[in-house]
Amino acid sequence: MARPLELDPDRLFPADPTTRAIARRLYDPIASLPIVSPHGHTDPHWFADNGCWTDATSLLLVPDHYVFRMLYSQGVDLDTLAIPRIDGPPKTDPREAWRVFAQHYTLFRGTPSRMWLDHVFAEVFGFDVALEAETADHYYDIITEKLATDAYRPRALFDRFNIDFLATTEGPQDDLAPHHRIHQSGWPGRVVTTYRPDAVIDVEHEGFGAAMERFAEWTGEDVFSWSGYLAAHRKRRADFRAAGATATDHGHITAATANLSSTDAEALFARIVGGSWTPADAELFRAQMLTEMAAMSVEDGMTMQIHPGVARNHNAGLFASHGRDKGADIPMRTDYVGALRPMLDRFGNERDLTVILFTLDESTYARELAPLAGHYPCLRLGPPWWFHDSPEGMRRFREMTTETAGFCNTVGFNDDTRAFLSIPARHDVARRSDCAFLARLVAEGRMAEWEAAEVALDLTSRLVRTAYHVDTPLKPAKAA
């Protein structure tokens, strides 16, 4: 007989009865607030086309590297899971892949993926039995069946999930047509883009050459001259703002910034596009471009997000066979205090600039990030990211940043996900985790309960709406 699937209504709340009761009272009024998802990787075509997803495997397993990396670590090969290779998808029956996943579902005990997936299974699909080998086909059939109905089309789920604002992520080389179609469709869902120019900034990225060609085409600028290149960024930023973007995003290897003279910057750029660059040049150019992007954000008001510190594609063999985003990205020790100084020397005291810092190196929370954000007017701390977007990760983030940076220098939650169906689950984990933390402060006499209730609302709504300009349209860009 199948095991039941039940979500504990008090999940993630501390066990102590006094604290738990406080957490529950803090959570109740925010539990159903609209979702603001200011940073993520959903596909705008979903909302533009509003087509049906086809099956559980292609929707829930194949795009979720959190999930298949765990299976891979335990010896399950990626072909078995229907994960596409560079030269195309394997000939794996998606139902068979789903069965393998179900057989291994116990591997996820204690992980956030397990919480998110169970939430999706129970709340989105209505399952009341747990996923395991015996129920694999039942799950696969029901999910396939439901996905074929109108209630499970992207826009219907967007509405059902009570999403108020959803940002996707595109590059300057990308076509914004899906966003234009969404906006022209009359559908009121607010799906916007985000300007992520990594592919035209990181010359070590395998797609740099192609991205630069597209960048030139979209803008009509001579992107191989320094002035044309900067002008092209300004044009694309304007295009993105017209498609609703309120923010940029920068996924650099390190947090290094630079502040070169324009002569030196131009000479560096010449080496980059001329192909005579060294790895140090590539790093310096990324560093300089963070400062250039900050300069443009001062002009146009776009909030800037910096996501540094990952060794991408760490598994050389897997990168060769399967390409990027296959669960082989590994965080690295990351410096902020020295790295950000050149940019902060120029723009640190700007009150109208918002730079949101993320990290995968938790040792920087209390040591560097909270002290930086607790001083510089332009800096804010992004929520726990990626491997740390989890109950324990969120607890550590609050415990290590709040005392120095306060709540006020944080920006609410980012789900940062490709897994659209998991968005409510992820926001719910964040809301519960924040209430658990606040409840402890209240129970320990460190904050009044009415104050904690205000903070819970700040963390769920006010801070994110402010940091990402959700409610206040950006003004036209100032001249450079």
What residues does 380 pair with on adjacent strands? Answer: 356
In whole angstroms, the minimum distance from the beta carbon of 337 to its own copies comes to 5
In whole angstroms, the minimum distance from the beta carbon of 354 to its own copies comes to 11
Inter-residue contact 192 to 179 (CB < 8 Å): yes
Nearer to its own copies, 27 or 218 (CB): 27
Nearer to its own copies, 227 or 363 (CB): 363
Give the up-direction half-sphere exposure of residue 59: CA atoms within 13 A in the CB hemisphere.
23
Give the pair of three-digit tokens for residue 41.
């990787």
| Length of the chain measured in residues | 480
Sequence-ordered alpha helix ranges (H) in 338-471: 341-347, 363-364, 370-373, 391-405, 423-443, 449-457, 463-467
Nearer to its own copies, 4 or 274 (CB): 4
In whole angstroms, the minimum distance from the beta carbon of 240 to its own copies comes to 26
Nearer to its own copies, 31 or 238 (CB): 31
Separation of alpha carbons 366 and 244, rounded Å: 34
Separation of alpha carbons 450 and 466, rounded Å: 22
In whole angstroms, the minimum distance from the beta carbon of 425 to its own copies comes to 13
In whole angstroms, the minimum distance from the beta carbon of 190 to its own copies comes to 27
Nearer to its own copies, 296 or 372 (CB): 372
In whole angstroms, the minimum distance from the beta carbon of 323 to its own copies comes to 15
Nearer to its own copies, 138 or 375 (CB): 375
Nearer to its own copies, 122 or 270 (CB): 122
Query: H/E/C letters for each residue in 241-300?
Result: HHCCCCEEEECCCCCCCCCCCHHHHHHHHHHHHHCCCCHHHHHHHHHHHHHHHHHHHHHH
| Residue 317 burial (10 A CB sphere; 0-12, 13-18, 19+) | exposed
- Single-letter residue type at 31: A
In whole angstroms, the minimum distance from the beta carbon of 339 to its own copies comes to 11
Nearer to its own copies, 264 or 352 (CB): 352
Q: What is the DSSP letter of 355?
A: E
Give residue for tokens 């997936």.
117
Nearer to its own copies, 197 or 384 (CB): 384
What residues does 255 pair with on adjacent strands? Answer: none
Separation of alpha carbons 132 and 55, rounded Å: 18
Separation of alpha carbons 284 and 257, rounded Å: 8
Separation of alpha carbons 64 and 224, rounded Å: 36
In whole angstroms, the minimum distance from the beta carbon of 110 to its own copies comes to 4
What residues does 163 pair with on adjacent strands? Answer: 35
In whole angstroms, the minimum distance from the beta carbon of 418 to its own copies comes to 17
Nearer to its own copies, 288 or 433 (CB): 433
216-255 burial, b if ≥16 CB within 10 A, otherwise e?
Answer: bebbebebbebeebbbbbbbbbebbbebbbbbbbbbbbbb
Nearer to its own copies, 96 or 454 (CB): 454
In whole angstroms, the minimum distance from the beta carbon of 197 to its own copies comes to 26
Inter-residue contact 437 to 431 (CB < 8 Å): no
Separation of alpha carbons 112 and 115, rounded Å: 5
In whole angstroms, the minimum distance from the beta carbon of 356 to its own copies comes to 14
- Residue 146's H or E segment, with its range, is helix 136-147
Give the pair of three-digit tokens for residue 392.
């324990």
In angstroms, the first-to-last Cα distance of the chain is: 68
Nearer to its own copies, 287 or 441 (CB): 441
Region of residue 445 (left: phi > 0; alpha: psi -120 to 50; beta: else): left
Inter-residue contact 359 to 334 (CB < 8 Å): yes
What residues does 272 pair with on adjacent strands? Answer: none
In whole angstroms, the minimum distance from the beta carbon of 230 to its own copies comes to 24
